[in-house]
Structure 1
Amino acid sequence: MNKFNLFSQALFSALILLSALQAIAQVKPYSFSHLPEVKETKFRNDTIRITTFGAKNDGVTLNTKSINDAITASHKKGGGVVLVPAGLWVTGPVVLQSNVNLHLQKNALLQFTKDFSQYKLLKGDWEGIPQMRNQSPVSTTDAENIAITGSGIIDGNGDAWRMVKKDKLTESQWNRLLASGGTVIEAKKMWYPSVQSAKGSLLKNAGALSPDKTPEFYASIKDFLRPNLVVLNNCKRVLLEGVTFQNSPAWNLHPLMCEDLIVRNVYAKNPWYAANGDGIDIESCKNVLVEGSTFDVGDDGICIKSGRDAEGRKRGLPTKNVIIRNSTVYHAHGGVVIGSEMSGGANSIFIYDCSFIGTDIGLRFKTTRGRGGVVEAIYAKDIVMKDIIGEAILFDMYYAAQDPIALKGENRDAPKVVKYPVTEETPVFRDFHISNVVCDGARKAVFIRGLPELNISDIYLDNMVIQAREGVEIQEAKNVQQKNVRVILTGDKK
């Protein structure tokens, strides 16, 4: 063989190797070796007790001023710990301040009042869009180096705020609820805690900010404008550790546009019937670590969001660089969820060593036309699931703001497939990597439903054993790769 032929053969081999490497690069294999770094909080060694400012743990005294005065005093001294000792402390809204760690001792119960007059109406955010809301029980804006830590409980008194669907309760539970007061809208099969709350539910976008809405209008539906329990807006270096957050009026934990957020060993708890009772909604945040935590709630467990529709696209802040590990989700609409308000996008999300037990869906990725936004570079591995009511893994671009599991007697028709033009309102799902999943019991193993105008693409499923009544269903998707995926059909046993 002459030198030219040798050179040609070598060049051909090099081109083949380059092509193979390019193909491997397109697959984008898992990479958990370079996880995002999240900066930690650090506080002065100085402690102020709320009792110093007159707080009383008699279960009657309203301690709002005492607690907030203690936080302000600590902040002015350069920060430190504000200590909530053991006992029952009734309070109105608490506002955190920079460099302050609100620490709840074991057996400390911070109980938020059900006197709605203590919560001001403020411009806030509701499900990804600006709205008028009641002041959150715990909140802050533009703070740095803040924390809520300890072994105590923060209770949002959510039962005083929330509506309840009749079909989610037994007959005895429903009758007890009716006997407690409130009002019912029969057509909606829904109980409301007050006439104001019911009135607001009948209005479209009742809390939306609009020049033609007067303060008197918002006041007339105040009870309907439920706050999230903890709202941290545009904060840097945040730590939530050890505390139980429970009984929230709406979402439990809502970090919004935060950077360097650590959620460690918390317990987020809500009744199974809690409307909008999400565990944590991480919205338009970057550099986030959720670890060692437990969620048992009435809506999505651990949720990634980034704003809704035009408002979310205008904000343009994706949720990115998120680690979710060593955590358990019990009752919830989804274990780890992305969407549906993801119009600013989401990327570089790492989920591993998690368990979902009894959730409606395991891994849940949802959106709909109008959202826009790009969700990509999502990695999940080493996931254990048991007794999943619906799908173990679900991708759905036809989300319709409904519970994932139809209630008894509720009929749902499949959406009509119509192809629309691709615009900025068209959402994008691509580049998902899911491996090492074991699921003992689900209705369906995997469900993927994209849009005809823009398919879901590049989904890599690897090393799975899923016991389910139904197998894998794929609609309007491309480059879905399955390797070592074993589905064990169980008939009606599971």
Structure 2
Amino acid sequence: MFFIYNTKYDFAKHVKTYSASGTNKMLDYAFRSKFAAICRLSFASGTSCNMKILMRFIPQLEAAMSTGIFDVTKYGVLGDAKTNNTKAIKAVVEQAEKNGGGTIYFPPGEYVTGSIEIKSNMTLYLESGAVILASENPNDYPIVDDTVIKGWRNITHSGIVKAYNCENISIRGRGKIDGRGQNWWHDTGEHRPRTLQLISCRNILIEGITIVNSPMWTVHPICSDNVTITGITIKNPANSPNTDGINPEGCSNVHISNCHIDVGDDCITLKSGTQDDLFIKQHACENITITNCTMVNGHGGVVIGSEMSGGVKNVTISNCVFCGTDRGIRIKTRRFRGGVVEDIRINNLIMTDVFCPIVINGFYKCGCKEDELARASSLEKLPLVDSTPLFKNFYISNVTARNVVAAACYMYGIPESPIEGVTIDNFVVDMSKTATEPKEPAMTFHDSSMLGKGIKLTNVKDVTIKNLRISTRDDSAVSISNSEQISIDGIIVNDLNKSIPAIKLENTNDVYIACGRLAEKIEKVVEQTNCSGVTVK
């Protein structure tokens, strides 16, 4: 704003230079309008610059600064909640593309449309009161298959907003996208449109918007880099099928923050394709930060898998609240998926009304092919092959979980590929005293539902549990089987029946247990069956 107050500033030259520079494309539409208003106010108040010159160039300034802003209503798009604007909006995007990019601006109104495909250097801006209403016509969402993208596994409809191989794209504002998923939820197939589908893109910003009633996964960046998702709200009905919130798949350098997610499936899920996803599994999902989010309902809070054939690594999850999300942290896979999940750090979480706060499941049953079922579900130790998943290096700290129904923690590794290198530190968990219906801590091939159980670990290696405060319902605080290299230090068990051991070990070797205050409250600290190298102090 310097030039408003500088009487010697050549304002006409500035407008001309600014108009040619193209930097106006980066400015917010609302800022342009406010800037012009400030100029007029300055004139009215008698600011000491040459206001006659200033006012002479205000129309030029407004016109120059509006270059790159494409108000869709100026191009025949109607916000009347009934006109199908698919073709008209496409024409606006094409005009912006000819201009080298710009802002596709939706003022208040309700705009019916099919897929909107944005291009590089574009912002889709939804003003407060602007609502995108997804078209009810499936033909408005072109099919994506392996003829469109080589190696694409599924046959799917395009997203409501989509981009392919673009850079510098934004979807912003305080408006709303209504996916009108009720037109799709009767069919649970994967062909349903995602709300935001961004494939092989770079430098993505999704900010401020609200998304409701997604037909399937809501925000789905695929094989993209430098993705920022902040301050968005997602609300899908609790019974809507597969309406995950935010699902980065095969993406790198992803930042998710300050979001509120209330959905019918997993709230945030990190994926990297299945063994059949020839396109996606070439890309690991890596370098991910998730922070300051609230998550409600759904089957999981923050989830990894089960599509993880490309691997998932270098993930931090912090300062989040989960309420009624069935599982809190949920990591799932099975034989044939392959891939490595490693270096996951989880800190400062609060959970209420969940089935199980922490799950790592190597026997995820959903979607298993018939010809893979026998091997995928076998509890025997099978030979290691390329398609055997690996889990290692998890650090979980400062987690509080209240009113837990099924189990405090559930980890079940694959016998030939145990879950390795886990630390749980400062974990406070209270089981529900009023729940009467057992629930599944994890969706596995073999385990039945549970009610009020403690920490359950099977096929794990190099695990440390310390500073645990737990209450259970007639069950040991910690039960471990078929495992090795275990350290337990600092457990406080509340309301445990004195006849029940605090720690139960079976076929587990090389165990160190520091009782501390534990021995003061119960008759039996450890019960062991077929174990060796167990030290209790």
1:473 paired residue among 448, 456, 479: 456
Distance 1:292 1:459, change over 3 A: same
1:280-429 equivalences under 5 Å are: 280-311=246-277, 315-388=281-354, 390-401=355-366, 416-429=378-391
1:451-462 equivalences under 5 Å are: 451-462=414-425
Query: Residue type matched to 1:480 in 2?
Result: V
Match of 1:484 in 2: 467
Deviation at 1:71, TM superposition (A): 2.1
Match of 2:106 in 1: 84
1:230-309 equivalences under 5 Å are: 230-309=196-275
Tell me, yes or no, if structure 1 residue 143 matches structure 2 residue 166. yes
C-alpha distance in structure 2 between counterparts of 1:131 and 1:415, whole Å = 25
2:86 paired residue among 52, 57, 64: 64
Query: Residue type matched to 1:334 in 2?
Result: G
TM-score normalised to structure 2 length: 0.68
Deviation by residue 1:48-73 (Cα, 9 ceiling, x = unmatched): 10011101111111111222222222
C-alpha distance in structure 2 between counterparts of 1:133 and 1:418, whole Å = 37
Deviation at 1:384, TM superposition (A): 0.7
Match of 2:139 in 1: 117
Query: Residue type matched to 2:356 in 1?
Result: E
Match of 2:483 in 1: none
Deviation by residue 1:204-250 (Cα, 9 ceiling, x = unmatched): xxxxxxxxxxxxxxxxxxxx831212110000000000101221111
8 Å CA contact 2:171, 2:206 repeated in 1: yes
8 Å CA contact 2:229, 2:255 repeated in 1: yes
- Count of residue correspondences: 384
Match of 1:153 in 2: 176
C-alpha distance in structure 1 between counterparts of 2:215 and 2:314, whole Å = 31
C-alpha distance in structure 2 between counterparts of 1:239 and 1:225, whole Å = 25
Distance 1:313 1:87, change over 3 A: closer
C-alpha distance in structure 2 between counterparts of 1:287 and 1:333, whole Å = 25
C-alpha distance in structure 2 between counterparts of 1:354 and 1:68, whole Å = 38
C-alpha distance in structure 2 between counterparts of 1:51 and 1:314, whole Å = 38
8 Å CA contact 1:301, 1:335 repeated in 2: yes
C-alpha distance in structure 1 between counterparts of 2:191 and 2:305, whole Å = 22
Larger Rg: 2
Deviation at 1:110, TM superposition (A): 0.4
C-alpha distance in structure 2 between counterparts of 1:265 and 1:280, whole Å = 12
Distance 1:489 1:483, change over 3 A: same
Tell me, yes or no, if structure 1 residue 102 matches structure 2 residue 124. yes
Query: Residue type matched to 1:394 in 2?
Result: V
Secondary structure in structure 1 of the residue aligned to 2:277: helix
Tell me, yes or no, if structure 1 residue 228 matches structure 2 residue 194. yes
C-alpha distance in structure 2 between counterparts of 1:259 and 1:71, whole Å = 23
C-alpha distance in structure 2 between counterparts of 1:380 and 1:480, whole Å = 15
Secondary structure in structure 1 of the residue aligned to 2:342: strand
Secondary structure in structure 2 of the residue aligned to 1:225: coil
Deviation at 1:333, TM superposition (A): 0.7
C-alpha distance in structure 2 between counterparts of 1:129 and 1:271, whole Å = 29
Match of 1:44 in 2: 26
Distance 1:129 1:428, change over 3 A: farther
Deviation at 1:109, TM superposition (A): 0.7
Deviation at 1:292, TM superposition (A): 0.2
1:450 paired residue among 382, 390, 413: 413
C-alpha distance in structure 2 between counterparts of 1:243 and 1:451, whole Å = 41
8 Å CA contact 1:313, 1:344 repeated in 2: no
C-alpha distance in structure 2 between counterparts of 1:456 and 1:312, whole Å = 26
Percent identity between the two aligned chains: 35
Distance 1:261 1:51, change over 3 A: same
8 Å CA contact 1:393, 1:445 repeated in 2: yes
8 Å CA contact 2:141, 2:193 repeated in 1: no
8 Å CA contact 1:333, 1:359 repeated in 2: yes
Structure 1 gap ranges (5+): 1-41, 164-191, 202-223, 404-413
Deviation by residue 1:274-318 (Cα, 9 ceiling, x = unmatched): 111110111010001000001111111100000101436984311
C-alpha distance in structure 2 between counterparts of 1:326 and 1:314, whole Å = 28
C-alpha distance in structure 2 between counterparts of 1:314 and 1:121, whole Å = 18
8 Å CA contact 2:315, 2:343 repeated in 1: yes
Distance 1:489 1:454, change over 3 A: same
Query: Residue type matched to 1:144 in 2?
Result: E
Secondary structure in structure 1 of the residue aligned to 2:396: strand
Deviation at 1:490, TM superposition (A): 5.4
TM-score normalised to structure 1 length: 0.74
C-alpha distance in structure 2 between counterparts of 1:119 and 1:73, whole Å = 21
Structure 2 gap ranges (5+): 1-23, 28-67, 369-375, 432-451, 476-494, 496-537
Deviation at 1:122, TM superposition (A): 2.6
Deviation by residue 1:358-378 (Cα, 9 ceiling, x = unmatched): 101000010000001000000
8 Å CA contact 2:125, 2:173 repeated in 1: yes
Secondary structure in structure 1 of the residue aligned to 2:154: strand
Secondary structure in structure 1 of the residue aligned to 2:155: strand
8 Å CA contact 2:152, 2:279 repeated in 1: no
Match of 2:393 in 1: 431
8 Å CA contact 1:313, 1:343 repeated in 2: no
Distance 1:490 1:380, change over 3 A: same
Secondary structure in structure 2 of the residue aligned to 1:69: helix
Secondary structure in structure 2 of the residue aligned to 1:130: coil
8 Å CA contact 2:152, 2:280 repeated in 1: no
Once superposed, what is the RMSD of the aligned Cα atoms? Answer: 2.4
Query: Residue type matched to 2:391 in 1?
Result: F
8 Å CA contact 2:153, 2:278 repeated in 1: no
C-alpha distance in structure 2 between counterparts of 1:486 and 1:55, whole Å = 59
Deviation at 1:78, TM superposition (A): 2.6
Stretch of structure 1 that moved more, 346-355 or 109-118: 109-118
C-alpha distance in structure 2 between counterparts of 1:244 and 1:102, whole Å = 13
C-alpha distance in structure 2 between counterparts of 1:312 and 1:351, whole Å = 28
